[in-house]
Amino acid sequence: MTQAENSSAALLAHFAEKQTEILAFIRWLVEQESRSGEADATTRIAENFGERLTQFGAAVDLFRDAKFGATLRARFPHNANPDAKQLLVVGHLDTVWPLGTLALRPFTIDGDKAYAPGIFDMKAGVTLATFALLALKELGRQSQRPVTFLMTCDEETGSHFSRPLIEAEAQHSQAALVLEPPVPGGTIKTGRKGVGEFELIVRGRSAHAGNDIRRGINAINELAQQILTINQFADYERGTTINVGVVRGGTLSNVVAAEAHAAIDMRFERVEEGQRIEEAMANLMPMLDGAQLEIKGGINRPPLVRTQAIADLFAHAKNLAAEMDYDLQEASVGGGSDGNFIAALGVPVLDGLGVDGEGAHAEHEHILISDIGRRATLLTRLIETI
């Protein structure tokens, strides 16, 4: 057996032994509900998780916000190379699930699957990182550089509070590992689209639909025409998509609608495409006489572009996985994550390093228990070799 195979083999055996403990930790996290925007709940889970990390020897800081709760930063001491650039390990403790979902869908094991709200996205991933760091300590292994965990509280709603914290840590990081769920099948993410969110507000003038229709300006009619224009901004060849996801407007069928709104999602692979759409949205002109348009929002997340440095990092991960005869694959996806902010600063990112499973943001959300050992091994090998 080569040294490399031996490195992974020892970890695989270690994590096989720890499987019950790891599952108990995942359960402990998912049983603390933490929907984005529930500040008390996201603060509590960060405090509890921070306490555990402190016991493991980390220096923990919480950054608190009245609206979003608390983002956790944990620095793990490094004796050998304290001055080396750090390795950043990023996750989020918030979920999309309303408080009370757990009572309807409690933590359940069915064969190889463990179900719970937020388990796949991404409390299993957060647990992996915790046990990876613990394994280094328990097995007398060492990372190449100081390791910092950043666990945000508002990723699911766009990381408006956490973004500056993420960017500040990224500035002095060699690379970042993101604990988001993989593409089902275990495929990790080396590219992500950028995300824009817009709201279009149309103002017209109300009038009696029977007696006075020509004195009205129908905001819904105006919006309908704008939507046709906006959809033409998409460019599938370039990976740019537009989705008008919500419309509302008007009051009654016999009233000319004075106001109408649309919520629009935009995804793009290239920075210049994001700029093109932002400009096109800002330049929308009313089509009906007297109608007024207002555009809110803009680009929320820049794209995570697969640079050469990211490709190299993936090749490294693929070699590490091969130590376990694990054929690791990569993909580019449309969904954004906190990895987007980090990659935009030129720091290589590997994303989707969580446990395999399925059903992010869906009722059948679950992880595959049999995948825990090899993903924990892969993550630990990445942490000790980058």
Of 195 and 281, CB closest to Zn ion: 195
Q: Which residue is nearest to Zn ion (CB)?
A: 121
Q: Binding to Zn ion (CB under 5 A): which residues in 284-303? A: none
Contact with Zn ion (CB under 5 A): which of 33, 38, 94, 121? 121
Residue 94 engages Zn ion in binding (rule: CB under 5 A): no
Residue 365 engages Zn ion in binding (rule: CB under 5 A): no
CA distance 199 to 294: 8
Q: How far is the CB of 269 from Zn ion (least distance, A)?
A: 20
- Contacts of residue 322, defined as CB under 8 A and 6 or more positions apart, other chains included, come to 328
Q: How far is the CB of 145 from Zn ion (least distance, A)?
A: 25
Q: Binding to Zn ion (CB under 5 A): which residues in 304-343? A: none
Q: How far is the CB of 357 from Zn ion (least distance, A)?
A: 12
Residue 122 engages Zn ion in binding (rule: CB under 5 A): yes
Of 29 and 122, CB closest to Zn ion: 122
Count of residues binding Zn ion (CB under 5 A)? 3
Q: Interface mask (CB under 5 A) for Zn ion, residues 157-196, using x and -?
A: -----------------------x----------------
Q: How far is the CB of 216 from Zn ion (least distance, A)?
A: 45
**Which bin fits 118, alpha (ψ -120 to 50), beta or left (φ > 0)?**
left
Of 122 and 176, CB closest to Zn ion: 122
Contact residues toward Zn ion (CB under 5 A) are 121-122, 180
